[in-house]
Chain A
Amino acid sequence: MCRRSKAGSGTMNEFALGFSVAALAKGVFVTILITFGASLVAIAFGLVIGLIRVSPRRPLRWFGIAYIEFFRGTSMLVQLYWWFFVLPIFGVTMSPWTVAILGVGMNVSGYGAELVRAAIQGVERGQYEASTALNFPRLVMMRRIILPQAIRAMLPAWGNLLIELLKGTSLIFFITITELTTAAKLAADATGNYLLFFAIALFGYYLIARLLITPIVRWLERRFSRGFVRELPI
């Protein structure tokens, strides 16, 4: 790497390097921002579609199944292209940022809805029976009894899914937003040092996953585990 003492030819390299590092930092920021936005989309849509998927009304259930199969069955990149290249034909032109957040988020929401369904159906039958015996309306039963237990059960899987989402944001490379992968590629192309910039980017993703996503999900798990782990009596 460049050292300050090596002036002359070093300044050009140093300039390129400094420029590239700044671009890389910006790439990290963009990746985190899109990951955050897409996560919100994935969680909101995943929850709603998951609930629709277990609805007692058949047409709603079918809609849920179709949604899940569509977003899980077609590739994320196909979906991004669809948003980006095909929708403008119908007069819907979205900014690359909107495409990135909606495209990645809705793709992941298909998987999220499936987690929600599995968790809701995994709640013990006795809980449904006790709710019936206490005469809860369905919505109250869902909100107060079933969902709190289901959310706790599905949180670890959501942790993994959000890491998948983070990795998915790298596909935005194909639709012209300079996120981390794109920034690393540009910096590496500019300096010729592929090893350095790709290694930095790889560790960047690893750190975002391990130091940002995992701890947040762990924290949520602790918050939702009230009553499930033996604590000191209050």
Chain B
Amino acid sequence: MNIWDWYYVWEALPYLYRGAVITVQATLIAFAIALVLGLAFALIRQSNNRLVNGAMAETVEFIRSTPLLLQIFFVYFVGPQFGIVIPAWVAGIGVLGIHYAAYCSEVYRAGIEAVDGGQWEASIALNLSRSRTWSRIILPQAIPPIVPGLGNYFIGMFKDTPILAAIAILEMLQQAKNFGAENYRYIEAITMAGAFYLVFSLIASAIVQAVSFWLNRRYHLQ
């Protein structure tokens, strides 16, 4: 028996392809959730109300210190106990998005706090409204520098998608494993899945760098 058999590589491809589509879809949707929700978390943390601010900080801290897998279990299994059935797809991607929203909110916060305090003073002096100050003055300066930070979490989410298999979402790694179990051949499928993650990560980090460079130029920050 060969250690590496190309026959199984070709056989495994359709499985991996089906899994890869789900993996990429899940990552993109969850990342969109993380970007929007993360910004919301970060803005809530800017609140002057000590209680709101503190509660948000604690929530973020809690989400960040507990495992994604357990959070997915929590949402997926606790609902039915009270008669609310959440589809695996919704629970899995939703929780993935919320989990990373907590991380993204810290990145946003760092970006917001790095904006020079003089910008706020100038906006007040020009009598800009609060929402306009945020949308036109602060965020355009805060976000371009943090694109690499957000991008890293995008790649992180991608690598966390295999966890979705625990609630029977057939992403790529699970497909690879199923193929392995059916054929008693794990090496090709799992190695190819690993290679796919590696290639995707490297390409994604190159894209993140390009976007970051473009944004910084677009807003004349460099």
Contacts and interface: CB of A to CB of B under 8 A. Distances in A.
* A–B touching in complex (CB under 8 Å): yes
Interface of A: 69-70, 72-79, 81-82, 85-86, 89-90, 163, 166-171, 173-174, 181, 184-185, 188, 192-195, 198-199, 201-202, 205-206, 209-210
A192 B81 contact: yes
Contacts of A174: 165-166
A169 to B, nearest CB: 8
Given A73-B202, A209-B65, 16 more contacts: A69-B202, A75-B162, A76-B159, A82-B190, A82-B191, A85-B180, A85-B186, A171-B69, A174-B165, A174-B166, A181-B67, A194-B73, A194-B80, A202-B62, A202-B70, A206-B62
A194 B78 contact: yes
Contacts of A86: 186-187, 190-191
Contact of B173 (A72, A75, A163, A193): A75
B173 A173 contact: no
Nearest to B106: A160
CB-CB nearest 7 A-B residue pairs: A170-B67, A209-B65, A75-B159, A85-B186, A73-B198, A73-B201, A194-B77
Contact of B65 (A78, A194, A195, A205): A205
B138 to A, nearest CB: 26
B70 A201 contact: yes
Contacts of B190: 78, 81-82, 85-86
B180 A202 contact: no
A71 B80 CA distance: 37
B65 A206 contact: yes
A194 B91 CA distance: 15
Contact of A75 (B3, B74, B160, B187): B160
Nearest to A75: B159
Nearest to A81: B190
Nearest to B79: A194
B78 A78 contact: no
Given A89-B187, A206-B65, A77 B201 contact: no
Nearest to B187: A86
Contacts of A205: 65-67, 70
B171 to A, nearest CB: 10
Interface of B: 3, 62, 64-71, 73-74, 77-78, 80-82, 159-163, 165-166, 173, 176-177, 180, 186-187, 190-191, 193-195, 197-198, 201-202
A35 B166 CA distance: 21
B81 A194 contact: yes
A195 B81 CA distance: 8
B198 A70 contact: yes
B152 to A, nearest CB: 10
B66 A198 contact: no
Contacts of A73: 197-198, 201-202
Contacts of B161: 75
17 contacts: A74-B194, A75-B160, A75-B173, A78-B162, A78-B194, A82-B191, A85-B180, A89-B186, A163-B64, A167-B65, A167-B67, A174-B165, A192-B81, A198-B77, A201-B70, A202-B74, A205-B70
B57 to A, nearest CB: 13
Most chain B Cβ neighbours within 10 Å, of A74, A77, A168: A77
B197 A78 contact: yes
A201 B67 CA distance: 10
Nearest to A84: B186
A90 B73 CA distance: 35
Nearest to A76: B159
Nearest to B158: A75
